[in-house]
Amino acid sequence: MVSPTSFFGPLDPAPDAGWTEQPQPRKGFFTDTSVCIGCKACEVACKEWNAVPEDGLDLLGMSYDNTGMLGADSWRHVAFIEQPRPLGRGSAPFAGTPTGPSGTDVADAVTAAGVDALADASRIGSAQPGGFPVVDRAAERVREAGGQQFLGMPGTELPGRSAEGVGRSDVRWLMASDVCKHCTHAACLDVCPTGALFRTEFGTVVVQEDVCNGCGYCVSACPYGVIDKREGDGRAWKCTLCYDRIGDGGTPACAKACPTESIQYGDVDELRERAARRVEQLHAAGVEEARLYGHDPHDGVGGDGAFFLLLDEPEVYGLPPDPVVTTRDLGSMWKHAGMAAVGMLGVALAVFAGGGS
Ligand code: SF4
Ligand code: SF4
């Protein structure tokens, strides 16, 4: 049985937190990953608007994903997942079209030509000799070695123009911009001892950096591994759903910057309806793997304020398949602890009374 103040189940979080005067519709994000093109405009806009510090410009060796994960200095993270299969019926228009050499052929050719791509990349922008774009350098050396086009990064020739008779491989890219889920039941907020984390009138979850004492309880409580302590600062940081912008009637920076409307901002109820329609549309178009994640108020966190349309299992995107608010049993734990304390007090009183007689 779910009460308005329970630690799990469906509810409207803002009124539950005491925002009962002038109630606002709950605000959130619907991220439709089927139209994400991986441009990372969302990551950049978030950093710029919120003055999130630079978190390293390293090449992680994980395809085009050089952010890696959400963290104190990455409030949006665009995941890149390469899979050896087509998107629904998406490859049909290209069926039978010749294409360039496969990734494996290119990699073999690059290795045979003696190109050390990572070493070249590390020289980019440095004063070391050879500090010019690795793609040009590799392409030049591969052409010298055997005439093949280097396709490690987007090529300059149209598909099908660079080679004859090579079958098109069935590879698809999944791209998804991850973010704090602004959970209906936010364990980060439940465990915060200082009140630094609070529920806004829009139902979102925000950290007040001047109140955070850096204890880190929220970090281990978050079922999605979102909130994080900043190195050299010690305090916890995460997406605020641009509280300052939405409070002024604006749109969060990431949603504003997204060129494909993969990130959609609005009233959560309306976004849920829109997301359901989009799934139906994709299913009708043959993309049967389309499914929603985090939209269900009956899930383990009472539904997310930021939810997603995915094209594969959540684990593929690094998301937990069945997240549960880690403070779900807090109420019953306190109840049992209270009953045990009363029991022990009763025994102590009985012993004391027995010893005195
Ligand atoms: S528990 Fe994690 S995902 Fe949920 S609101 Fe807190 S930081 Fe965001
Ligand atoms: S979500 Fe939008 S802005 Fe972000 S990478 Fe995808 S297309 Fe670009």
Please list every protein residue whose CB sits less than 6 Å from any atom of ligand 1: 180-183, 186-188, 205, 222, 224, 226-227, 238
pLDDT for the residue numbered 340: 82
pLDDT tens-place string over residues 145-188: 555 544 444 445 555 455 554 555 567 889 999 999 999 999 99
Give just the sign of the alpha carbon dihedral 138, 151, 33, 251.
positive
Asked if 76 and 68 touch (Cβ cutoff 8 Å), the reply is: no
pLDDT for the residue numbered 1: 38
pLDDT for the residue numbered 330: 73
pLDDT for the residue numbered 342: 85
Full-model pTM = 0.74
How far does the centroid of ligand 1 lie from the alpha carbon of residue 256, in Å? 22
As a whole number, the mean pLDDT across the chain is 83
Q: Is 188 annotated as a binding residue?
A: yes
How far does the centroid of ligand 1 lie from the alpha carbon of residue 115, in Å? 44
Weakest mean pLDDT among 4-13, 116-125, 290-299: 116-125
pLDDT for the residue numbered 343: 86
Of all ligands present, the nearest one to the C-alpha of 191 is 1
Half-sphere exposure (Cβ direction) of 230: Cα atoms closer than 13 Å: 18
**Is pLDDT above 50 for 4?**
no
pLDDT for the residue numbered 150: 46
- CB of 263 closer than 6 angstroms to any ligand 2 atom: yes
CA distances 101 to 136, 143, 269, 292, 331, Å, are 17, 13, 47, 36, 60
Pairwise pLDDT comparison (290 vs 144), residue with the higher score: 290
Ligand 1 atom nearest to 301, measured from its CA:
4
As a whole-number percent, the residues of the chain with pLDDT over 70 amount to 74
As a whole-number percent, the residues of the chain with pLDDT over 90 amount to 57
- Given this structure, which CATH class describes domain 23-84+172-326? alpha beta
- CB of 261 closer than 6 angstroms to any ligand 2 atom: no
From 29, 206, 227, 307, the mutation candidate for ligand 1 (largest count of ligand atoms within 8 A of CB) is: 227
**Is pLDDT above 80 for 118?**
no
How far does the centroid of ligand 2 lie from the alpha carbon of residue 255, in Å? 8
Q: Which pair of structure tokens corresponds to residue 247?
A: 């409070």
Asked if 98 and 166 touch (Cβ cutoff 8 Å), the reply is: yes
